[in-house]
Amino acid sequence: MGLLTGKKAIVFGVANEKSIAWAIAEALKKEGAVLALTYANETVAKRVIPFAESIGAELVLPCDVRSDEDIRSVFAEVRTAWGGLDILIHSIAFANREELKGSFLNTTREGFVLAMDISAYSLIALMKEAAPLMAGRGGSVVTMSYYGGQKVFPNYNVMGVAKAALEASVRYLAEAVGPNGIRVNAISAGPLKTLAAAGVGGFNQIAGHVEKKAPLRRNTNQEEVAGAALYLCSSLASGVTGEIHFVDCGYNIIGV
C-alpha cells in the first residue's frame, strides 16, 4: 500500500520531462494516486499526452488557466469521472521574457497583469472549482513558489511580485478552505533548470551562486521537490497548512 493509494490527483503545469510538475506526477503515481494531467495548448499536448500515457493517467484534459470556462470544464470532467478530488498540484507560472531581464522599472502594465493572472490568480481560480470536490476528503493543494517572492533576485522582476502574491494567496486560501478539511501549502524550490527558468536572465549565475552559498553546497533537484510535495499531499502532513516549505538546500537561511 502506498501513501496515496486510491487518492485522486490532478496536476497542472507539466511541460516536459524536466518540469517540477512531471516529477511530482511520477512521485504521486508511485505512491498509488490516480492521476489527471492538463495541458495549456496543442503544442504542449504533444509532449504531455505521451507522458500521461506512460504513467497511466486516467484523464488528460486541456486547460488554459486564463479561461474560467476551461477551468469549469476540467473540474466537470473530474466530477463525472471520479466524483471527487483529493490532491491538486499547481505548478504554473509565466511572464513575458522581456520582463525577466534588466530593471524592474521596465515592467509594463500588460506584462504585470499577465504574470499575475497566470502565476498567482490561477491558483484561486482553480480552487474555486476544486474546493467543492475536495470538501470533507482531507484534500491537499500544493503550489510552487520561489525565494524571489520574498527577496530580490536579479532579473526575476515581475515574477518575484507574482510569487509574493501567490504566497499570500496560499495563506488566505488555507484559511478559506480549512473548515472543509482542505490544506493549502507552497513549496519554495531552489533554482532548477526547467523551461520556465530558461526565460530568466542570468539564471545560470543565480544557480551557481546558490550552489556555492547553500549549506549543502549544491542545488536541489526535481526529485527532492517531488518528495516534499508527496509529504504535503499525504496524511503525514495532515496538520500542515498555509506554509511555504523551502526545498533549496538551505539557501534561504543564509544572510551573508
Catalytic status, residue 39: no
**182 in a structural domain:** yes
**190 in a structural domain:** yes
Total domains in the fold of the chain: 1
pLDDT for 206 beyond 90: no
CATH number at residue 188: 3.40.50.720
User: Which structural domain, as residue segments, surrounds residue 196?
Assistant: 8-250
Residue from 113, 71, 121 nearest 92 by CA: 121
**Cα 229 from chain centre:** 10
**2 in a structural domain:** no
Give the mean pLDDT of 193-197: 66
- Cell triple for 95: 511572464
**Residue 128: other Cβ atoms inside 10 A:** 14
104-133 pLDDT, tens digit per residue, is 999 999 999 999 999 999 999 999 999 999
- Cell triple for 200: 530568466
**54 in a structural domain:** yes
Q: How many whole angstroms separate alpha carbon 24 and alpha carbon 101?
A: 29
Cβ partners under 8 Å of residue 194, min gap 6: 15, 18, 19, 20, 222
Whole-structure pTM value: 0.95
| Phi, psi (rounded to 5 degrees) for 183 | -105, 145
52-109 pLDDT, tens digit per residue, is 999 999 999 999 999 999 999 999 999 999 999 999 999 999 999 999 999 999 999 9
Residue 200, pLDDT score: 65
Catalytic residue among 146, 147, 231, 251: 146
**198 in a structural domain:** yes
**3 in a structural domain:** no
Cβ partners under 8 Å of residue 30, min gap 6: 2
- Cell triple for 163: 510569487
**Cα 57 from chain centre:** 18
Catalytic residue among 39, 147, 156, 231: 156
**256 in a structural domain:** no
Catalytic status, residue 156: yes
pLDDT for 202 beyond 80: no
